[in-house]
């Protein structure tokens, strides 16, 4: 790991990251190479979170730094970027307007080179279904911070079944009150209250899909 950018991002040094991205762009470095270093830094952030060195607030800070870096890279990185490892649809379910946890998962998924469609908050089941049809996503993330979000999660999973898509998508649910029992109630494939483990789950499911 020789890149100053990888080190700066993994150490959560916002100014150093943005300065290094700007310097490398001015020097003519490939946007793709810069983006890959940012992603490598985010992987290290995730590892430090898993070992207990970093906390949720650190993940949020890293996600914000990564977002600023990709904005500096602009459309150049998008045009040169390698094929995404997978396609994900994310949203906070109908009746819930909380988005901090969802936004963090979206940032980490994008840093892990997933193509993510973020539907925002208060998303009805039919919109999840239509977006999966449009994007071909194999993974769907349903977020909710309220206990009243459990029924909308269940309704969304049922909507995938009604549309004939249930065997084509893996559904994860997440949020503070989510438990294994809630996962079973909703009919989802997995659950998490941890943004990094949500990314790990999406990676595992994508690898399973590739093996088929």
| Domains with residue ranges and CATH for the chain | 4-80 (1.10.1240.10), 86-211 (3.40.50.280)
Residue-wise pLDDT tens digits, 68-105: 998 888 755 544 556 888 999 999 999 999 988 898 89
Please report, in angstroms and rounded to a whole number, the separation of the first and last CA atoms in the chain.
33
CA-CA distance, 54 to 94, in Å (whole number)?
A: 32
**Predicted pLDDT of residue 75:** 55
Contact predicate 128/91, CB 8 Å: yes
- On average, the pLDDT of the chain sits at 90
Distance CA 134, CA 180 (A): 30
Is the pLDDT assigned to residue 210 strictly greater than 80? no
Answer whether residue 178 shows pLDDT above 70: yes
Q: Max CA-CA distance within the chain?
A: 54
Rounded distance, CA 84 to CA 95, Å? 31
Residue 55, sorted as left (phi over 0), alpha (psi -120 to 50) or beta, turns out to be beta
> Torsions phi, psi of 157, nearest 5?
-60, -40
Q: What is the pLDDT of residue 77?
A: 55
- What does the angle CA 142 – CA 148 – CA 153 come to, to the nearest 5 degrees? 30
114 within 8 A of 123, measured Cβ to Cβ: no
Q: What is the CA radius of gyration of the chain?
A: 17
pTM for the predicted model, two decimal places: 0.79
Q: What is the pLDDT of residue 43?
A: 85
DSSP-derived 3-state class of residue 114: strand
Bridge partner residues of 115 (DSSP): 87
Residue 78's Cα: distance from chain center in Å?
17
């Amino acid at each position: 790991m020789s890149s100053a950018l990888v080190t700066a991002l993994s150490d959560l040094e916002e100014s150093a990251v943005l300065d290094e991205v700007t310097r490398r762009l001015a020097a003519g470095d490939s946007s793709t190479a810069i983006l890959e270093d940012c992603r490598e830094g985010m992987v290290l952030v995730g590892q430090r979170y898993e070992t207990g060195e970093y906390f949720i607030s650190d993940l949020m800070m890293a996600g914000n730094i990564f977002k600023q870096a990709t904005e500096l890279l602009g459309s150049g990185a998008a045009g040169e970027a390698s094929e995404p490892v997978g396609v994900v649809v994310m949203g906070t379910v109908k009746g819930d307007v909380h988005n901090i946890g969802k936004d963090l998962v979206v940032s980490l998924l994008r840093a892990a080179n997933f193509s993510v469609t973020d539907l925002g908050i208060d998303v009805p089941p039919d919109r999840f279904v239509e977006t999966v049809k449009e994007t071909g996503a194999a993974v769907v993330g349903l977020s909710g911070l309220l206990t009243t979000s459990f029924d909308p999660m269940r309704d969304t999973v049922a909507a995938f079944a009604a549309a004939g898509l249930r065997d084509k998508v893996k559904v994860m649910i997440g949020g503070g009150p989510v438990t294994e029992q809630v996962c079973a109630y909703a009919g989802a494939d997995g659950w998490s209250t941890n943004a990094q483990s949500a990314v790990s789950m999406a990676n595992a499911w994508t690898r399973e899909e590739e093996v088929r």
